[in-house]
Amino acid sequence: MNFSALQFFAPADAPGAIPLHAVTAEKFSAFEAAQSAEVKNWLAATGFKGEAGRIVLVPRADGTLAMAVMGLGKDEDLLAFGTGSERLPAGIYRVASAPSRYSDAFITLGWALGAYAYRAFKPRKDEGEKKRPLLSMPDSAGVAEAMMMADAIALARDLVNAPANHMGPGDLEDQVLRLAERSGARFGVIEGEDLLGRNYPLIHAVGASASAERAPRLIELVWGDDSAPKVTLVGKGVCFDSGGLNIKPGSGMATMKKDMGGAAAMIALARMVMDAKLNVRLRLLVPAVENAISDRAYRPGDVFTSRKGLTVEIGNTDAEGRLVLADALADGDDESPELMVCMATLTGAARTATGFELPPFFTHDEALAADLSRLSVTEQDPMWRLPLWKGYESWIEGKVGQLTNSTTSPYAGSITAALFLNRFVTRTRSFVHFDVAAWIDHARPGRPVGGEALCIRALFRLMKERFGSKTT
């Protein structure tokens, strides 16, 4: 976990930088026509036509590189420069031409994210000796911010990609503590039986079956001036989900190390906010548990009184994420923050509805929904609004308790989960919940298969627009 975007870049005036041309399929003919006869012949021999993800290296007569040409296809992916850092040979490159919509910030972000790889337990044999391609970029605020964002996203990817035996509740706590120490934030944790004494019964119930070393906890970070607008981030930190007594099949457990992906993303977003010194009083809450099986495991049919005072009937122990979030959201809501963001790998229904790359979000705030939808496009950070449909409210009513954590209907699972969470937020001015996969299942430039921090670039931009940065 030592990724630094800076190591993949060279100064703007780096001598001998190789020209890198980024060309769309539509504009390829015009680009080709402007080249020398030798370059035209070479491009013709390769059959290159500007296809997305394809790179052609054009040599000089002496065998050195004259230029590299990277295809952008239909020009739809602003992180396309990730292809360069993934596939170009070692050397220093400079962007000689690219469509105008590729700002220095997007070029930097794509290149940095393309350089990411999780190799904690399987390093390349030549990793220590391998020379990387470097991109020459100007020293500007936009470039620096893009590097900062890449570093935060890489942190989230590392947390999600880490095997569960190396990323339990205590390890997640350590990550938040390091972030607090790095940023001068206040840090706190409530662990084990203390959760009951401090009124977090749902977090305790879900995590009680784990070993003492992996005891449940609520992790907290607070940063910024108390007089600044209050922003609270809540991330689901289920470090492994067996399904509890309603045990998952083996295939369902295969990637359950990523069930703390909401927490990882909120940790990364908190890092962005603090690094950018946004004018907010930030609070990060991570309920961290392992949903294990033992004689202390909570059972289907159990009823618990939540922190909010609502009684919750357990319909399925594999619907644990909304339980731990409920107590954390109730805590966050007590402060009546200006904005509260919840992020969780909550339902398979969300994946069925919108897939891995388009996470749904839920909010009653029309202005917030409009801003998020706009920024999802400008930041190319996809998300899609789904409704908090009141017609399904009766589905989350329990037979014994006031609420159930699992409806009997096989439909609208992401919506009913969001409705459940919404019951625990009554004072917050603006609340939004994201049901994310925290995972990329099909590689794209700058986005390898594995853990991912979805939606946080748009959220960071939203917070920067709304609250600005500190002036001192």
What SS3 string covers the chain?
CCCCHHHHEECCCCCCCEEEEEEECCCHHHHHHCCCHHHHHHHHHHCCCCCCCCEEEEECCCCCEEEEEEEEECCCCCCCCHHHHHHCCCEEEEEEECCCCCCHHHHHHHHHHHCCCCCCCCCCCCCCCCCCEEEECCCCHHHHHHHHHHHHHHHHHHHHHCCHHHCCHHHHHHHHHHHHHHHCCEEEEEECCHHHHCCCHHHHHHHCCCCHHHCCEEEEEEECCCCCCEEEEEECEEEEECCCCCCCCHHHHCCHHHHHHHHHHHHHHHHHHHHCCECCEEEEEEEEEEECCCCCCCCCCCEEECCCCCEEECCCCCCCHHHHHHHHHHHHHCCCCCEEEEEECCCHHHHHHHCCCCCEEECCCHHHHHHHHHHHHHCCCCCEECCCCHHHHHHHECCCCCEECCCCCCCCHHHHHHHHHHCCCCCCCCEEEEECCCEECCCECCECCEECCCCHHHHHHHHHHHHCECCC
pTM: 0.96
Distance between CA atoms of 432 and 457, rounded to whole angstroms? 15
At 75 the pLDDT is 78
> Is residue 385 annotated as part of the catalytic site, yes or no?
no
Q: What is the pLDDT of residue 126?
A: 56
- Per-residue model confidence (pLDDT) at position 125: 64
Which of 271, 322, 423, 447 is an active site residue? 322
Catalytic annotation, pick one of 94, 178, 198, 248: 248
Give start-end residues of each CATH 3.40.220.10 domain in the chain.
5-129
Q: Give Cβ neighbours of residue 373 (< 8 Å, ≥ 6 apart).
A: 383, 385
| 248 catalytic residue (yes or no) | yes
> From CA 354, how far away is CA 392, in angstroms rounded?
19
Cα–Cα distance, 453 to 437 (Å, whole number): 9
- Render pLDDT for 369-392 as a digit per residue (tens, 0 to 9): 999 999 999 999 999 999 999 999
- Evaluate whether 12 touches 138 at the Cβ level (below 8 Å): yes
Closest among 318, 312, 317, 320 to 300, alpha carbons compared: 317
**Cα(243)–Cα(221) distance, rounded to whole angstroms?**
28
Task: Please tell me the predicted confidence (pLDDT) of residue 252.
Answer: 87
| 162-467: in CATH 3.40.50.1400 | no
Q: pLDDT under 70 in the chain at which residues?
A: 1, 125-130, 471-472
Structural contact between residues 24 and 98, judged by C-beta atoms closer than 8 angstroms: no
For residues 132 and 90, the answer to whether their CB atoms sit within 8 Å is yes
Q: How many CA atoms lie within 13 A of 190 on its CB side?
A: 19
Q: What architecture does CATH give domain 5-129?
A: 3-Layer(aba) Sandwich (3.40)
Residue found by looking up tokens 């295969």 in the block: 254
Return the pLDDT at 17: 96
> Which of 251, 158, 253 lies closest to 448 in space, CA to CA?
158
pLDDT at 131: 81
- CATH 3.40.630.10 domain span(s) along the chain: 162-467
Beta-carbon contacts of 224 under 8 Å, excluding residues fewer than 6 positions away, are 279, 280, 281, 282
CA distance 378 to 105: 12
